[in-house]
Structure formats: C-alpha cells, structure tokens
C-alpha cells in the first residue's frame, strides 16, 4: 500500500473526502515524514505538531457534520516564512525579524485554510528572499534533496525542497524574479508564478511594500503534479479585500488554438546543450499531443524587461534595503544588493517614471505577441541548476548567475504568468522548461504543462541524497 505522504494532493483530498483516510492520519504521516528527512535538508524551519493535528481534527469534524471542508480537504502543505501566519514569526530568513510575530494570517494562509489545507510548517528562504540559493544566519542552509551539491533554488528553496522530498503534498512560494520557478526547476518539481493580481497578498505584520515590489511579487503553488498546481492556485486565488491589486478573473478563459512558439535563445541568450535538449523534447511532447509549435528567433524585448525589473525591484527603496542588509550582515543579501547598486542608485523620480512608462510599451508588445502565440516555451535558466552558493564565489560567478536567469527576471516586470515544468533528469541534475501565457491565462500554461508532464518527469517524492 502506498504510504500516505507519497500521494498527490489531489488524490489525498479525494480519499479524505471519501472517508478512506482521516485528515489526522494524513497529518500524522506528513509529520512522520518531516521528522525522518527534514534534518537532512532543513527545508521546514518552524513546525508545531500540536497545531498541525488540531487543524486536521477540524477537517475531520467538518466531514463528520456533513460539511464540505474544501478542495484541499486535509492536505498537509507548507507555507514560506515570508508571509504572515498568526502566532508565528514572519522572519523572511532574517535574525532582525525573529520576534516579528504575526497577529493574523495573510490572505494566502486564510485562503488555504478555507480550502481545507492543513499547514504543516513554514519553509526556509534566503535572508530577505533576495537569492537563488537558500541560506541565512537565522535558520541555516537548505539542501537540494536530489543532490546536496546543487542549490535547492531560491528564494522558495525550502518550499521546493520540502515538496520534492515528500514533506507536504503541496507548497506555497513567492516569486519576484524567479523565486517559485527556479526552486521548482532546481528540485525537479513544478512551480507556477500566477499573474499579478491573481492571488491576494498582504502582511499586516510589516510595512506596506514599495510600488516596485507591489507590481512584481506574487504568491503561487509548487507541487509534484500539474493537477496539484491547479488545486493550489484555485485555493490561493480566492478573493480578499485586503489586497487592492486582486482582480476577479475566472481561472478558465475562452478556448484558444493550441499554438505555441519555442524560443531557445531569447535576446541571444547562450544556453547549455542540456537546456536546449530539454526544450526540444518539450516541444516534441506538445506536438505529439496536438499542439503546433513554431521555433522562432525573435521575441518582444525580454532582456530589457529583466534589466528594468532589477532597477525597479532594487532601486525602489534601495537605501532602506541596504541599511537592513548591513544590520543583518548576511553575506548573500549583501552580495545581491552590492551587485546591482549602481543600477539601483540610478532610479531617481524621472527614472522611475521612465521605467513605468516603458513597462506599458513592452507589455503592449508582449500582449500582441501572445495573441499570435497563446503559449511561449522558454528556458527556465540558461544553465542546469547551479552549484550551491555559486553567487558567493566572486564577481564573475555572481554575474554568471544573474545572466543565466534572464528569462525568469524579465517576466515579473510584465506581470505575466509562467510555469516551470520538470521534464526529467540529466544524471543527478533536474531538467525543466518554462511556459508563458497572456495575463490571467494560467490555464493555458497548465494545459500545456499537463501535455508535457505526460511525457515523463523526474520521480518524486525522493529520499534526500
């Protein structure tokens, strides 16, 4: 019999609602798995078993009363330490925030609980969620369960490491420049960055975010199956009046032709041979399942969007970010800010206006492109998952990391949804591709993601290496 912690979120929810398993049994199985493997990978940094079991008991009680507990009935899952969960510290991987105890839940946590999810624990992130590597001075270093020499990704490295190793059936992540998509890629699972305004966000424990972050940061699901991402997105995206950016758009849009563009080297990006092979393999899988896939050389500007994203994200409030990083004295955070200081300091009021004005022009071009091609197939990264802590190995290594991530960084500036899909393994290194669609058309990404998934993915969950 399959161990409960190995089940997909969708299958587990169905079994609990059918009375084949209790939510408490599922929660205890998840806690046992966490106890067995988390010491090796350090993915979950805050777990309170008594709270977990109490949540599960509430789901079982609702079922006993004949009530519908929600689409994630009794599913144990994790949330990231950079969102508010009442009674827990919103640390964001920072010692300065170890005592920042949330008095209320963020909209994401509330929505997951309303959908019946059981919050199993809180996952690690780099300090301030700045990097594609997950280590900090408060919670320590998270390891990739497939290969400890590789980064688990960041900033949602704990989330992806947890779900890949069977700690929870689904995970919450956040993405401002690739922080959902890259950890999913690095750990050999799937991750969805929703459209800006799809999933409500708010942390009452913290000051209001600068406009750059408001325009580009989102929450989304990381999971082992595309079907689980569908459930996670549906649960997370319920309305909440605390987020003025939330938009009431249906999760399913009108049918569109199954036409995709494949761009292996956007803006001349140099990609590893294994990355190109994964893209061609994904295109083949789509064609075999009824998609037309045209390989193209030209896209609307993406590198420019990535450069402007860095300027807007780090330049809007840079002085405060730098002061906090200096106080924290975290090497990774300091390196991330120092590497882009010159660009960030260029953002005066006139530059801020030019950046947002240019955003409208670029987004118009992208929207027109996505009418011709409803789906775009891109690299997640120009390289296979990096050696862990590569960005701290000198200026050349730092530049290499940021250059390879261009396709992830540019899309948040445009507010577009993107899906990282695992396609298999190259030795001990995961492979994957990135799918992009028009705003609020996550359904197109997921539809194509299911077609690619049918061709095979990396085995999951795995025992940490």
Q: Taking residues 322-337, report their average pLDDT.
A: 96
Annotation says 155 is catalytic:
yes
Percent over 70 (pLDDT), the chain? 100
Q: What is the pLDDT of residues 238-272, one digit of tens each?
A: 999 999 999 999 999 999 999 999 999 999 999 99
| Annotated catalytic residue, options 129, 135, 161, 179 | 179
Rounded Cα distance, 327 and 100, in Å:
16
**What pLDDT score does 1 carry?**
63
Annotation says 114 is catalytic:
no
Query: What pLDDT band is residue 138 in, cutting at 50, 70 and 90?
Result: very high
Query: What pLDDT band is residue 465 in, cutting at 50, 70 and 90?
Result: confident
**What pLDDT score does 74 carry?**
98
Q: Taking residues 145-172, report their average pLDDT.
A: 98
DSSP 342-387: HHHHT--HHHHHHHHHHHHHHHHHHHHHHHH-SEEEE-S-SSSSPB
Domain boundaries along the sequence of the chain: 92-104+122-453
**What pLDDT score does 186 carry?**
98
Residue pair 265/403 in contact (Cβ under 8 Å)? The answer is: no
Query: 407: buried, middle or exposed (CB in 10 Å: 19+, 13-18, 0-12)?
Result: buried
Beta bridge partners of 431: 424
> Which residues fall within 8 angstroms of residue 9, CB to CB, at 6 or more apart?
72, 75, 77, 169, 170, 223, 225, 228, 231, 232
**What pLDDT score does 165 carry?**
98
Q: How far apart are the first and last CA of the chain?
A: 24
Residue pair 167/77 in contact (Cβ under 8 Å)? The answer is: no
- What are the φ/ψ torsions at residue 298 (nearest 5 degrees)? -115, 135
Rounded Cα distance, 374 and 445, in Å:
9
Rounded Cα distance, 443 and 318, in Å:
36
pTM: 0.98
The strand pair at 375-378 and 259-262 is best described as parallel
Query: What pLDDT band is residue 293 in, cutting at 50, 70 and 90?
Result: very high
Centre a 10 Å sphere on the Cβ of residue 365 and count the other Cβ atoms it contains. Answer: 14
Q: What is the pLDDT of residues 91-117, one digit of tens each?
A: 999 999 999 999 999 999 999 999 999
CATH domain 92-104+122-453 topology: Amidase signature (AS) enzymes (3.90.1300)
Centre a 10 Å sphere on the Cβ of residue 45 and count the other Cβ atoms it contains. Answer: 21
**What pLDDT score does 2 carry?**
82
Q: What is the pLDDT of residues 24-66, one digit of tens each?
A: 999 999 999 999 999 999 999 999 999 999 999 999 999 999 9
DSSP three-state, residue 420? strand
| Annotated catalytic residue, options 29, 106, 155, 161 | 155
Rounded Cα distance, 253 and 240, in Å:
21
Whose CA is closest to 370, among 229, 249, 264, 257?
A: 257
Residue pair 174/106 in contact (Cβ under 8 Å)? The answer is: no
């Amino acid at each position: 019999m399959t161990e409960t912690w190995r089940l997909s979120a969708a299958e587990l929810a169905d079994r609990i609602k059918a009375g084949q398993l209790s939510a408490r049994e599922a929660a205890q199985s998840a806690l046992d798995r966490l106890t067995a493997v988390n010491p090796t990978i350090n993915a979950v940094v805050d777990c309170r078993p008594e709270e977990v079991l109490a949540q599960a008991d509430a789901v079982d009680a609702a079922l006993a009363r004949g009530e519908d507990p929600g689409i994630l009935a009794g599913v144990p899952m994790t949330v990231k330490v950079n969102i508010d969960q009442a009674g827990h510290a919103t640390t964001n991987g920072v010692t300065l925030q170890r005592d920042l105890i949330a008095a209320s839940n963020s909209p994401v946590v509330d929505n997951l609980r309303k959908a019946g999810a059981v919050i199993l624990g809180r996952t690690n992130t780099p300090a301030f969620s700045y990097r594609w590597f997950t280590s900090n001075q408060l919670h320590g270093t998270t390891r990739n369960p497939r290969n400890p020499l590789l980064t688990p990704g960041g900033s949602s490295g704990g989330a992806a490491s947890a779900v890949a190793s069977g700690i929870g059936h689904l995970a919450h992540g956040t993405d401002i420049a690739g922080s959902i998509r890259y950890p999913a890629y690095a750990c050999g699972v799937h991750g969805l960055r929703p459209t800006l305004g799809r999933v409500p966000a708010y942390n009452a424990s913290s000051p209001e975010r600068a406009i750059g972050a408001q325009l580009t940061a989102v929450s989304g699901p990381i999971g082992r199956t595309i079907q689980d991402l569908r459930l996670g997105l549906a649960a997370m995206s319920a309305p909440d009046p605390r987020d003025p950016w939330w938009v009431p758009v249906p999760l399913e849009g009108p049918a569109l032709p199954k036409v995709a563009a494949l761009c292996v080297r956007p803006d001349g990006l140099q990609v590893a041979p294994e990355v190109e092979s994964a893209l061609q393999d994904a295109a083949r899988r789509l064609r075999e399942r009824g998609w037309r896939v045209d390989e193209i050389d030209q896209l609307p500007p993406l590198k420019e969007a990535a450069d402007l994203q860095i300027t807007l994200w780090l330049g809007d409030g840079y002085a405060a970010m730098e002061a906090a990083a200096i106080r924290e004295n975290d090497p990774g955070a300091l390196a991330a800010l120092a590497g882009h200081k010159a660009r960030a300091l260029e953002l005066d009021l006139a530059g801020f206006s030019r950046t947002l004005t240019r955003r409208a022009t670029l987004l118009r071009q992208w929207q027109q492109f996505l009418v011709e091609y409803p789906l775009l197939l891109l690299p997640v990264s120009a390289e296979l998952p990096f050696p862990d802590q590569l960005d701290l190995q000198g200026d050349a290594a730092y530049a290499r990391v940021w250059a390879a991530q261009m396709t992830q960084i540019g899309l948040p500036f445009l507010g577009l949804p993107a899906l990282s899909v695992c396609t298999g393994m190259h030795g001990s290194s995961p492979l994957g591709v990135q799918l992009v669609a028009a705003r609020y058309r996550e359904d197109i990404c997921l539809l194509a993601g299911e077609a690619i998934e049918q061709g095979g993915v990396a085995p999951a969950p795995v025992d940490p290496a």
